[in-house]
Structure 1
């Protein structure tokens, strides 16, 4: 089967319901929601300050008055105006003050936040975002300390990341807890260790050191490092002798270590002279995906490099696709990316206005992307595909028809048998693991009618944070079936 790979790149910043973390497009709504809540909170604070100022003025005034009245009450009340005003104050003005004090300016803020709360991320979103950060950490070989300081790969080189962000002790602790609860002890060790390191450096936190050591020592034990687990548990006991689990864990770990040493002695094995493994140097567990290492190396820009001699044979050109009338006045900008296999990139395939319109059309339709279960054929969500998708038709807007026509012009293929225009929006740490884009499903009835997928046309319409792998992308994916124009010889 001949495969046509067509890539287009248009650099533009891309701008939430269930599984919010899977879509940057929908996540941006939270930015404006939070801005509105901050404004509402500031109005509440202003109202509270105004209320307190009024109460303070009243208290200051009454303090002077009562000082005078209590020094000689009878002389004070001898003046009828003072007597009248005393009656008035206690009958009316103190009641008004009571109403002022009891009035809660937060009503507006509470009402506002209640309206927005239904759209807030939930626990699954927070967990998904934490796991996404760990996925990025693994993919780009980031140590926890660099990550906690907001140092991302390519930052400063590309315009995708302009704002630094830092992880506090509590952030690192929560990351470690998320990993721990998923039985991911490797990442739990990395993040609990970072939390402990920042706390030891003097950073304040809500979390207690004993909590961090509790999670950390058990995670280290799960990683198979008994000496270090004992060392950490002893530290925990010294901080909190009455800790519920620490004493029991310490005795258990020490018994295990003694047993290991006895078995070594029985088998006449010499104990290792090496020092206990230090935290953060544990080997990452092997992944179920055989291609994982190659896949992540590609994202880091590693692997086979283009030699100067081969690069000299790569060119840029204007492409009118055999004098296609629509491309004569505005030919496509075509750039060679690789020589064998021949890969080309088309630049500025979509205008900024078209990009924004497509995003506007797709955003309300975004839903968690699904895959077919290989055994049942049922569509379901999967952790190896973290994104949201929407499908657009010609009837949605004239711009979709225009984009479809442009795809036909560029590829020489017909979209008559293609699937609908798919807009895929990836969230924080979004990914789609290596997969075949053609179908291998014997139960797919469409294959009997239209044939299998022959080509995939993708437009990247957002800035890439890291090259060459676009970590956060808003893609337009087209699946073109085999039953179409066979004009492939020139591509």
Structure 2
């Protein structure tokens, strides 16, 4: 590596360090990475154990109290069976007076003593590690993204029937109600009513019961359901729901008032039509994510042995996907042991992914990209050095001046909305002007994804589903150096699985003699 390139990379590392450490850690973005949720699961294990210890403390106190009740009841019954004879004995009389004077005072103090103070303090100490309201909102948004992108019925989602495959998992009334409240707050009343109905259906099941501290007030659940129906102009249905809610409520004033208001709406708007339930619009992106693009004849597969002298000794399995724009897939190009090492290197420094905003000139967290990322400098380990050499063999490009390896892990409904990898030349940064635009993208798939997570190119109707050990390569620029808009692509939401990828963006400046005819 030239000294100039080495200095440039060190500067880039320093800038990356500042950006990463400058992020607000107030929100942990728990849902945006499966790897990030591992620590959350570990914390839950500790909290469950802490709650178990709290139960043990309660049990100890309960056993002490029950033991006293048993002994004192026997003594009291003995006294009542022969009252005068019992009290005539001075020992019994003294014991009674002493007990009534001393013992019950001690029991009062004992009953007032808090139980499980240590366990309560432990929970308080870990409160800051628990997901925030923003985390819950992001998780709800992710569930909705899965439902909308893959056209999954809410009732099926609740039952664990995901995209046609049944899983041994389901959502509780608390889960469904939280989704309903999220959609109600978003004024998405059609989905709100569907989710809240699922919560009501769960609560009415005979074998379902929530523990007392978590139990839902059915009248409140029914009222929110009714409010959603009112917003959908379904006044008659809302009135029936409110009448049902009244039967669960002792304080009926609020519900009776709302009932009167709905009856007034029915009288004043007798012919109002219910608002239609609006689903997410379906375009090429959604069709691609669902695997419904027309099947195109594949070009051909071969062993690539011509890109570099090394490939003559160890050719790579290459599938030619398209010529215009150029797109290929290399199969079995990274080993399981290398994948594990990359994940190990990336894990400790994964941070919420951001997107560069031209208007502000800064990287910002956006809803269109939900994952966690980190950067691995080219010289950070023997593996990264070896992987960059392999990328050079695969592409035939010179990697000097190119960006570092980027590791990404997607979590709950993780996705990256439609975007280009090339930059807008009119707003190019100094780094882009120095090293040129991103001529090519190399994307390694480091895990299989059970459902979802495809890379789709909606403008050319191609979809590539993750396959562990494979890598897809495509050119982002035309021969004249202008961005190729046909390379618009997106990472579809993950339905089930932990999606790990590693990508390398190759810059054009060093490719003068590798891919000629570019503008310089």
TM-score if structure 1 supplies the norm length? 0.75
Determine whether 1:346 maps to 2:350: no
- Alignment partner of 1:166 out of 146, 170, 177: 170
> What is the rounded CA distance, in whole Å, between the counterparts of 1:113 and 1:218 in structure 2?
36
- Alignment partner of 1:366 out of 327, 330, 350: 350
Structure 2 counterpart of 1:478: 504
- Alignment partner of 2:264 out of 229, 251, 273: 251
Structure 2 counterpart of 1:465: 450
Question: CA 1:66/1:19 → structure 2, altered by over 3 Å: closer, same or farther?
Answer: same
- 8 Å contact 2:440–2:506 — kept in the other structure? yes
> What is the rounded CA distance, in whole Å, between the counterparts of 1:285 and 1:190 in structure 2?
15
Deviates more, 1:383-392 or 1:64-73: 64-73
The higher relative CO (CA closer than 8 Å, separation ≥ 6) is in 1
Question: CA 1:398/1:236 → structure 2, altered by over 3 Å: closer, same or farther?
Answer: same
1:423-461 deviation digits (Å, cap 9, x = unpaired): 222221111111111111523222321111111111222
Q: CA deviation at 1:293?
A: 1.7
- Alignment partner of 2:279 out of 279, 284, 288: 284
Determine whether 1:388 maps to 2:372: yes
Q: Which residues of 2 match residues 58-77 of structure 1 at below 5 A? A: 58-64=68-74, 72-73=86-87, 75=89, 77=91
- 8 Å contact 2:32–2:410 — kept in the other structure? yes
Q: CA deviation at 1:178?
A: 0.4
- 8 Å contact 1:389–1:424 — kept in the other structure? yes
> What is the rounded CA distance, in whole Å, between the counterparts of 1:221 and 1:75 in structure 2?
76
- Alignment partner of 2:137 out of 127, 132, 135: 127
Deviates more, 1:62-71 or 1:177-186: 62-71
SS in 2 for 1:458: strand
1:81-123 deviation digits (Å, cap 9, x = unpaired): x98x999999999898778766655233223323322111011
Structure 2 counterpart of 1:439: 423
Q: Tell me how large the CA RMSD over aligned residues is.
A: 3.7
Deviates more, 1:109-118 or 1:334-343: 334-343
Q: Which residues of 2 match residues 96-245 of structure 1 at below 5 A? A: 104=114, 106-153=116-163, 155=165, 164-198=168-202, 206-207=215-216, 210-220=219-229, 222-223=231-232, 226=233, 229-239=234-244, 240=246, 242=253, 243=255, 244-245=257-258
Structure 2 counterpart of 1:50: 60
- 8 Å contact 2:158–2:176 — kept in the other structure? yes
Structure 1 unaligned segments of length 5 or more: list them: 1-15, 157-162, 261-275, 287-291
Structure 2 counterpart of 1:7: none
1:183-219 deviation digits (Å, cap 9, x = unpaired): 2223223323433455566666744555445444544
> What is the rounded CA distance, in whole Å, between the counterparts of 2:176 and 2:241 in structure 1?
19
Question: CA 1:218/1:44 → structure 2, altered by over 3 Å: closer, same or farther?
Answer: closer
Deviates more, 1:48-57 or 1:411-420: 48-57
> What is the rounded CA distance, in whole Å, between the counterparts of 2:434 and 2:442 in structure 1?
21
- 8 Å contact 2:230–2:238 — kept in the other structure? no
> What is the rounded CA distance, in whole Å, between the counterparts of 1:347 and 1:53 in structure 2?
65
Q: CA deviation at 1:131?
A: 1.3
> What is the rounded CA distance, in whole Å, between the counterparts of 1:417 and 1:439 in structure 2?
16
- 8 Å contact 1:336–1:343 — kept in the other structure? yes
> What is the rounded CA distance, in whole Å, between the counterparts of 1:353 and 1:345 in structure 2?
21
Structure 2 counterpart of 1:271: none
SS in 1 for 2:371: strand
- 8 Å contact 1:373–1:380 — kept in the other structure? yes
> What is the rounded CA distance, in whole Å, between the counterparts of 2:55 and 2:180 in structure 1?
35
Q: CA deviation at 1:468?
A: 6.5
Deviates more, 1:121-130 or 1:177-186: 177-186
> What is the rounded CA distance, in whole Å, between the counterparts of 1:399 and 1:53 in structure 2?
60
Structure 1 counterpart of 2:285: 295
Determine whether 1:29 maps to 2:55: no
> What is the rounded CA distance, in whole Å, between the counterparts of 2:371 and 2:263 in structure 1?
44
Question: CA 1:168/1:100 → structure 2, altered by over 3 Å: closer, same or farther?
Answer: same
- 8 Å contact 2:305–2:312 — kept in the other structure? yes
> What is the rounded CA distance, in whole Å, between the counterparts of 1:322 and 1:344 in structure 2?
13
Question: CA 1:88/1:481 → structure 2, altered by over 3 Å: closer, same or farther?
Answer: farther
> What is the rounded CA distance, in whole Å, between the counterparts of 2:378 and 2:279 in structure 1?
47
> What is the rounded CA distance, in whole Å, between the counterparts of 2:218 and 2:70 in structure 1?
46
- 8 Å contact 2:318–2:330 — kept in the other structure? yes
> What is the rounded CA distance, in whole Å, between the counterparts of 1:50 and 1:119 in structure 2?
30
SS in 2 for 1:433: strand
> What is the rounded CA distance, in whole Å, between the counterparts of 1:22 and 1:406 in structure 2?
30
